[in-house]
Amino acid sequence: MALSLDRLGMYDPKDPLKDRLTDLGPRHFWQYFPLVIQNNYGRWIYHDMLEPGILVHVSETGDKVYTVRCGAARFMTVQHVREICDIADQYCEGYVRFTTRNNIEFLVDSLDKLEALKKDLASRKYVSGSYKFPIGGTGAGISNIVHTQGYIHCHTPATDASSMVKAVSDELFKYFQGMTLPAKVRVSMACCLNMCGAVHCSDIALLGNHRKPPIVDHQVIDKVCEIPLAVAACPVGAISPDKTPEGNKTVKIRKERCMFCGNCYTMCQALPLSDKEGDGVTILAGGKISNRISMPKFSKVVVPWLPNNFPRFPEVVETVKKILGVYASGANKYERLGDWAERIGWEKFFEKTGLEFTEHLIDDYRLAYDTWRTSTQFKYTAAAWDTSRIAAGIE
Partner 1 sequence: MDELKKIIVEFAETNKKTKFYFKDIEKAVQKVNSDAKMRDIKKACTALINEGTLIYFSTGSSTMYGLKGRGITEDPIT
Partner 2 sequence: MPFEPKEPQKEIKYEETRIYTDAELNSYTDEELKNFRIKHAIPALEELESGPWPSFVADAKQEALHRRKLADNRMLIERDVVEDMLGQLQDSFDDGETHWKHGGIVGVFGYGGGVIGRYSDQPEKYPSIAHFHTIRVNQPASKFYNTDFLRTICDLWEYRGSGLMNLHGSTGDLVLLGTTTEQLEPIFFELTHVLGQDIGGSGSNLRTPSCCIGKARCEFACYDTQDLCYELTKYYQDELHRPAFPYKFKIKFDGCPNGCVASIARSDMSFIGTWRDNIRIDQKAVKAYLSGDVEPNGGAHQGRDWGKFDIQKEVLELCPTRCMSLVDNELRIDNQECTRCMHCINVMPMAIKPGKDNGVSILLGSKAPILAGAQMATLIVPFMKAEPPYDNIKDFIEKVWEFWMEEGKNRERLGELMQRTGLPKFLATIGLPPAPQMVKTPRENPYILWQEKDVPGGWNRDINAYRSRHKR
Residues that bind partner 1 (CB under 8 A): 17, 194, 224, 226, 228-229, 266-267
Give every CB contact of residue 220 below 8 A, 6+ residues apart in sequence. 270
Residue 95 binding partner per list partner 1, partner 2, none, with a CB distance cut-off of 5 to 8 Å that depends on partner kind: partner 2
Determine, following the binding rule CB under 8 A, whether residue 310 of this chain makes contact with partner 2: yes
Q: What Å distances lie between residue 209 and 147, 304, 351, CA to CA?
A: 15, 9, 25
- CB closer to partner 2, 237 vs 241: 237
* Closest to 313 (Cα-Cα) out of 153, 162, 151, 194: 162
Please tell me whether residue 66 adopts helix, strand or coil conformation: strand
386 makes contact, choosing from partner 2, partner 1, none, with CB < 5 to 8 Å by partner type, with: none
Q: How far is the CB of 149 from partner 1 (least distance, A)?
A: 11
Binding to partner 2 in span 328-347, by CB under 8 A = 333-334
Distance, in Å, from the CA atom of 281 to the CA atom of 189, rounded to the nearest integer, reads 10
Nearest-CA neighbor of 225 among 260, 266, 193?
Answer: 266
* Shortest distance in whole angstroms from residue 229 CB to partner 1: 7
Decide which of partner 1, partner 2, none touches 228; Cβ closer than 5 to 8 Å per partner kind: partner 1
Rg (CA), the chain: 26
Which member of 118, 132, 218, 348 binds partner 2 (CB under 8 A)?
Answer: 132
Residue choice 61, 111, 115, 196 for contact with partner 2 (CB under 8 A):
196
The sign one gets for the Cα dihedral 29, 104, 147, 331 is positive
Q: What is the dihedral of CA 272, 274, 276, 281, to 10 degrees?
A: 170
Phi and psi at 249, nearest 5°, equal -70, 135
**Of 111-119, 191-199, 238-246, 371-379, which part binds partner 2 (CB under 8 A)?**
191-199
Which of the ranges 245-253, 303-311, 346-354, 371-379 carries the binding residues for partner 2, by CB under 8 A? Answer: 303-311
The answer to whether 149 touches 191, Cβ cutoff 8 Å, is: yes
Q: How many other C-beta atoms lie within 10 A of the C-beta of residue 301?
A: 19
Q: Per CB under 8 A, which of residues 55..74 are in contact with partner 2?
A: 55, 57, 65, 67, 71-74
* Per-residue interface string for the shown chain with partner 2, residues 234-273, x marking contact by CB under 8 A: -x-------------------------x-x--x--x----
Q: Specify whether the CB–CB gap between 197 and 216 falls below 8 A.
A: no
Q: How far apart are the first and last CA of the chain?
A: 84
272-291: contacts with partner 2 (CB under 8 A): 274-277, 279, 287, 289-291
Cβ closest to partner 1, residue 8 vs residue 17: 17
* DSSP secondary structure letter of residue 242: E
Nearest-approach distance from CB 132 to partner 2, in angstroms: 6
Applying CB under 8 A, among 122, 131, 330, 342 the residue interacting with partner 2 is: 131
